[in-house]
Structure 1
Amino acid sequence: MTQSPATPLPPPKERRRLRDAAGLTQAQLAARVGVSRATVRAWETGRTTPLGRKREAYARLLAEFAARPAPAKSPAPAVSLEKQHTRAETPAEPTLTPPLTPLTSPTPLTAAQAFDALYAFCAPALVRQTYLLTGRRELARESVERAFQQAWDRWPEVAVDRDPAGWVRAAAYEYALSPWHRFRPRYRHPEPPPASPTHRALLDVLLDLPPSYRRTLLLYDGVGLDLPETAAETEASTRAAASRLLRAREAVTTRLPDLTDPAVLHRRLAELASTERLRAAKPPTVRAFSERRARFWTRAAIAFTLTLISATTLSLRTAPTRYEPPVPPGETVQGVPPRSAPGPLSEEALELREKLRRTTESGPERLLPEPR
């Protein structure tokens, strides 16, 4: 029995162009194929490739879009990058994922402009995600800012990464879940919980999960990553990630039975994070702090190196230039008796000592000269 060859798919850019030409959003196309919006986004960026029945359905839709005649459109006015960011920061519904507006510009961007675009694209949603991981608003903002500071320090590496948003997300999650935060005075006491009892119950369930389970659940059901992508980001095998996901869902549904449906769980997670109205710092502030810290550590390294060189030079200048033998131990001289400690007194010596003591107390008789 032979299997029919897989239906060919157009390149990722062509997939996006066909969908745009059909007038569908990624969410609408995902509903027709039966997958999540993040999955369609991964297909259109080339990060993943559809398989099985999903591939057949996706290929048929793209073929249908390609067969349609292209409608006549008047040239749309160019939209600036700043306006795209403005629309992206105000989504129509609560979401945990960055907006899907493409960050493109007709002119090449500088390093600072590209970093600011990535920050505006990912930071608002990433702060909400990190809040679900930690339950602390200030720690969520600090984690995202620290992750972007690391990204700016290593921008030549991050800029050419296949998924810069995933790079920053992994750095933010690692910093937020660090166990050393419990020793910081500002994080020893819990923060006020959400005002809504429903949101408070969901946050309590999340914080009771182990950190690895919580992170897997957030990436899969909150962010919408596929299972292999979730396993890769959590540095686990696909089987381990699937086991963590099932156990995390079981723990959530045991205490909150109305969250059995993953779509409902995704919506509730987005609502919980969106009601907190978390805000991130401005991109120039993050870049300036990163540059200040880099300068500080550079100067500290230079100062330490100079101190080490000075100490080495001083040691070379003050070290002896010739060998000096150590002082030999003392030798015994023949003919000289060794010194000995005094022994016990004899009876005569004891009597003499007593006599001297009595004489000293009363004093000797005074001698006077006699006249002649």
Structure 2
Amino acid sequence: MTRSTTDEAAVPPLPSPKERRRLREAKSLSEDEVAAAVGVTRATVRSWETGRTSPRGRKRALYAKLIAPEPAVKRTAKPTVVTAKAAAAGARPAADRPAEPAAAPAAAPAATDLPEAPPLPEAPPPPSDPGAGAGTADGPSRAPETPGRPSDAAEAPGERRTSPAEAFDELYARTAPGLVRQTYLLTGRRALARESVERAFELAWQRWPEVAVDRDPAGWVRAAAYEYAMSPWHRLRRTHRHPDAPPTEPGKRALFDALLDLPPAYRRTLLLYDGVGLDLPETAAETEASTPAAAGRLMTARAAVAERLPDLAEADSPAEQSALLHDRLGGLARAEHVPVPRPARAVRTGSENKARLWTRAAVAGVALLIAVTGLTLHTAPTHYEQPISPPERVGGVPPRGGPQKLTAQDLKLQKSLSERLAHGPERLVPELR
């Protein structure tokens, strides 16, 4: 065993790429600072956080130590005003913390030099129904716990272990109905929302070993559904070219039109933060943007929606505006009739059938390629044959020598000679004189 292999075995396993970015931002570290500490470039750190590559050897140990989470300590009350610096660090105040005067904002971390920005919105209050999860029919809310994953408490000795199919069915039953409503708010198309969610779960079942150990399986499926629903190629399909009819109620219709008028990235950021209830770093990671950029998109989207809805513009604080927008989004999702997704077993069967079909298509393609290659090798010439030059008309060549065709005069003379030869001497003898 080499030294690098021994060092990698001694280092604890790294978290998922999304978790690496969250831990870095939680410690107020920029990509440049992490790159300087580990001894790599900024592009390398970004590839580690996107999952394209993974650190090895000594750099892996330094990176794991740098982003290792700090032990839990008792937190004291902090002000509810968050600046752009705190947003870049991943901070978001909870709604249940005691508020302090706005004149004493939190000290900005020394790792960033961003200018001061208007206060970011506070966290929306939790849903009134404590048992409602991300998959309930009440609309968007926080994602549930990972199904099939053991809890913090020790597992009972006689408890039956959950199979992959049962864990998938549990995740599907919890998250699929609510995720269809969320996707409907994102696209404005009911059929596309159902298709996107089912396609995301089919992809999750194909990659279930990866999804089952993810920190947030519901977030994995949600990101896949959002990416599929927001694909611009759907505009070429006749069934999804235009959005469905808006709600008839004026208030819900104004909110529906305001959402669809937003750019896709702004609409997704607003839905994740105010609808689903993610914090700012998680929203930035899922939208593949920096935390300050996600904060700017969120405030711009809120301002655009507030122009259509007077009650949002009249809110006294960002927290009240966030809570009101959360309720309005949930009410719009619950009021609209969206199609019910297929049963989990049908989704699993469809995923397996598609995977089997693609496998057969790949095998058939490889076999066809091998056959064409063999036929080419069999029929291809084994030596070089010089091509025959095309004929060309040549001028200036003298007439061909030798006997030519006799003319009429020549034929007459030949006949005359042949006749005279019969009456003359048979042999001529030369004589000397």
TM-score by length of 2: 0.56
Any idea what the Cα deviations from partners look like across 1:299-334, whole Å, max 9, x if unmatched? Answer: 111111111111111111111122212224668989
2:97 aligned partner: 33
Cα distance in 1, alignment partners of residues 232 and 322 from structure 2: 29
2:195 aligned counterpart, secondary structure: helix
Cα distance in 2, alignment partners of residues 283 and 97 from structure 1: 21
1:8 aligned partner: 73
Q: Is 2:331 the partner of 1:266?
A: no
Cα distance in 2, alignment partners of residues 96 and 309 from structure 1: 51
Equivalent residues of 2:140, 2:275 under 8 A apart: yes
Cα distance in 1, alignment partners of residues 275 and 73 from structure 2: 31
Shift of 1:7: 7.8
RMSD, aligned α-carbons = 3.0
Cα distance in 2, alignment partners of residues 6 and 115 from structure 1: 32
Q: Give the stretch that moved more between structures: 256-265 or 164-173.
A: 256-265
Instruction: Return the match for 1:281 from 324, 342, 349.
Output: 342
Equivalent residues of 1:98, 1:125 under 8 A apart: no
Cα distance in 2, alignment partners of residues 34 and 155 from structure 1: 42
Q: Is 2:295 the partner of 1:256?
A: no
Q: Is 2:193 the partner of 1:140?
A: yes
Q: Please list every run of 5 or more consecutive structure 1 residues that lacks an aligned counterpart in the other structure.
A: 11-29, 36-85, 339-372
Cα distance in 1, alignment partners of residues 357 and 264 from structure 2: 33
1:358 aligned partner: none
Shift of 1:196: 2.0
Any idea what the Cα deviations from partners look like across 1:81-138, whole Å, max 9, x if unmatched? Answer: xxxxx986996x9341257577468421111111111111211111111011011111
Instruction: Return the match for 1:94 from 131, 138, 141.
Output: 138
Q: Give the stretch that moved more between structures: 106-115 or 166-175.
A: 106-115
Shift of 1:199: 1.0
Cα distance in 2, alignment partners of residues 90 and 212 from structure 1: 23
Using a 3 Å threshold, how does the CA distance of structure 1 residues 103 and 304 change in structure 2: closer, same or farther? closer
Q: What is the total number of aligned residue pairs between the two structures?
A: 264
Q: Is 2:290 the partner of 1:237?
A: yes
Q: Is 2:227 the partner of 1:182?
A: no
1:14 aligned partner: none
Cα distance in 2, alignment partners of residues 177 and 128 from structure 1: 15
TM-score by length of 1: 0.65
Instruction: Return the match for 1:322 from 371, 375, 383.
Output: 383
Equivalent residues of 2:258, 2:305 under 8 A apart: yes
2:254 aligned partner: 201
2:224 aligned partner: 171
Equivalent residues of 2:135, 2:173 under 8 A apart: no
1:221 aligned partner: 274
In percent, how many aligned pairs have the same letter?
Answer: 60
Shift of 1:254: 1.2
